[in-house]
Structure 1
Amino acid sequence: MSPDPALSWSASLGAFGGGVRPVVALGEPEGYDEHGRARPLGGRLRTRTAVAVACVVLGAGLIGGAVTGSWLTGDEGSPGAPGGFAAASTLWHSVPVDQLFPPTVQGTGAGPGGADRTWTRVAVAPDSGCAGAFDPLLRKALAPVGCARLLRATYTDATQSYVTTVGLLFTKADAPAMSALAARFKTEGLDRRTDLMPRPYAAKGTVAAAFGDRQRASWTIHVLTEAPVIVYAVSGWADGRTVDTPQPAADALRAGATTAAAQAGLGNEAQGLADRIERGLRRNNAGTATEKPS
């Protein structure tokens, strides 16, 4: 419901006092020039006032742009800002699945050598808790932030040669706890340990039906600090072949990497899809700050 215009700051005082607000006219103040002669200062004051107002407006615009831009560019945002940390925790049930996990995801320049990629969604897991979704050691590593909800979807590439599961783990943690976990993953290299790989989601009757734990070839895990969310992806071959030496996506993407996962571009599959799902999450969260109430 729109606010009553009579209750706004610009309304006449008559609405409260029963009369019309008196108008008081003030003469222009006088100053002195370099010769000691009196002259009005109204023009200078008006100019200074206009400049001050412009600065305030420009500053407000920059601040507002920064709040929204922080989520879109990956910079840390203010936990209490609209569309920031608190709002992100509700996205799992307030945003349609087709926005979080689009049926088709375009990966311009995401493949090996900057080749384009197109991923098609083949399955979406029912939203759930985290029981059974992670290997025991990874579950232990993630325990400090808790598990509020887990969303997962599995995609295949245009040739149906590869399959990739991408997940959004919505935690129960506050901003300091997420920052602490992100720091631990970075300093201890937890995102590169093969005993901390996330598990894939294999859906019967799809090209990903044989995508199990032994088929994991490459993966990435990103602990966000500006939202209570962990984004991850794990990729493998669609033909069900097992992998003896899985490799983290960050290593598989390095120039000169010679592992099977790197040569096949499975690091690109995991990293590229995770990046684009994360960008979509940021856009959806930024949108919560601009939605108008119905």
Structure 2
Amino acid sequence: MSFGQPEGYDEQARPRVLRGRGRLRAVGVAVCLVLGLGLIGGAATGSWLVGDSAAAGSGDAFAAAAEMWHGVPVDQLFPPTVEGQGAGPGGADRTWTRIAVAPDSGCKDAFDPLLRKALAPVGCQRLLRATYTDATQSYVTTVGLLFTKADAAGMTALDTRFGKEKLGDRSDLMPRTYAAKNTVAAAFGRKQRASWAVSVLTDAPVVAYAVSGWADGRSVDEPEPAEKAMASDATTDIAQAGLGHEAQGLADRIERGFRKTVSSATEKPS
């Protein structure tokens, strides 16, 4: 590092060369070095503090999310009415009305065997489910929030596996429905599942999903994952009915609401 000849200012604020260059230059170098080290050290300390704060905030949010299943009213997790602006085929709006909420439970008999096996590494803390119908009561959709026992690394590993192996596209890993008696979803069983979507969250110990079907109880021979059923060139009955949009649209909005709830719970006053 080299320094130029130092300058000062006279009483008229004009720059002037300072005399006594040797000693003053040495002093200037020392001061600059001290200031430089101080700035570097301050910057490093600042970055450490910011990093710690961000990490702590992330950890707080993850921990808070794990407790949401028993600390948040059901109407907040599964609102009585969900608006889906632009969620239907061609960007049409959707409105879903909740018709039933399942009692919160464990995961015994809640999933088909292969899906239960795929989810086993993250464990099951609690499972919350609700079933909705569209404005015309033509379709029914069960949406679920599986609260796991995993940490952030475990959720990331599961998300990676679902992505690499495309587990969310496999019909033998389709979530089960919640068929509530005395509702339009009473006949919404395993054979009535038409389309589905599964989302593994990595910033919360939660797996969100939705599965849709017709409200008239018709069986489905070849269900389609929501992504496939929502493709612009899809021509199957499931796609034409918009059942992929029903599953994906409702799952997305329940997930968004959940994230908003977590964010509000962990916000700190400025």
TM-score clears 0.5: yes
Alignment of 1:25-104 (within 5 A): 32-33=8-9, 34-36=15-17, 78=55, 81=58, 84-104=61-81
The alignment of Structure 1 onto Structure 2 pairs a total of residues equal to: 231
User: Is 1:239 aligned to 2:216, yes or no?
Assistant: yes
User: Is 1:125 aligned to 2:86, yes or no?
Assistant: no
In 2, Cα distance between the equivalents of 1:210 and 1:79? 47
SS in 2 for 1:35: strand
From the superposition, tell whether residues 261 and 228 of structure 1 become closer, same or farther in structure 2 (CA, over 3 Å).
Answer: same
From the superposition, tell whether residues 82 and 185 of structure 1 become closer, same or farther in structure 2 (CA, over 3 Å).
Answer: closer
SS in 2 for 1:210: coil
In 2, Cα distance between the equivalents of 1:155 and 1:248? 19
**Alpha-carbon offset, residue 86 of structure 1:** 1.4
Alignment of 1:197-276 (within 5 A): 197-276=174-253
1:196 match: 173
What are structure 2's unaligned runs of at least 5 residues? 1-6, 10-14, 20-38
Runs of at least 4 residues of structure 1 off by over 3 A?
none
1:136 match: 113
Across the aligned residues of Structure 1 and Structure 2, the Cα RMSD in angstroms comes to: 2.3
In 1, Cα distance between the equivalents of 2:213 and 2:267? 39
User: Is 1:181 aligned to 2:132, yes or no?
Assistant: no
Higher helix share: 2
Q: Which moved more, 1:254-263 or 1:193-202?
A: 254-263
The Cα offsets for residues 146-193 of structure 1, whole Å up to 9 and x where unpaired, read as 000000000000000000000000000011111111011110010000
In 2, Cα distance between the equivalents of 1:203 and 1:92? 21
User: Is 1:149 aligned to 2:126, yes or no?
Assistant: yes
Q: TM-score, normalised by structure 2?
A: 0.81
Q: Which amino acid aligns with 2:104?
A: D
**Alpha-carbon offset, residue 37 of structure 1:** 7.5
1:159 match: 136
From the superposition, tell whether residues 79 and 173 of structure 1 become closer, same or farther in structure 2 (CA, over 3 Å).
Answer: farther
Q: TM-score, normalised by structure 1?
A: 0.74
Q: Which amino acid aligns with 1:87?
A: A
2:259 match: 282
Same amino acid, percent of matched pairs: 68
**Alpha-carbon offset, residue 289 of structure 1:** 1.3
In 2, Cα distance between the equivalents of 1:79 and 1:182? 22
SS in 2 for 1:128: coil
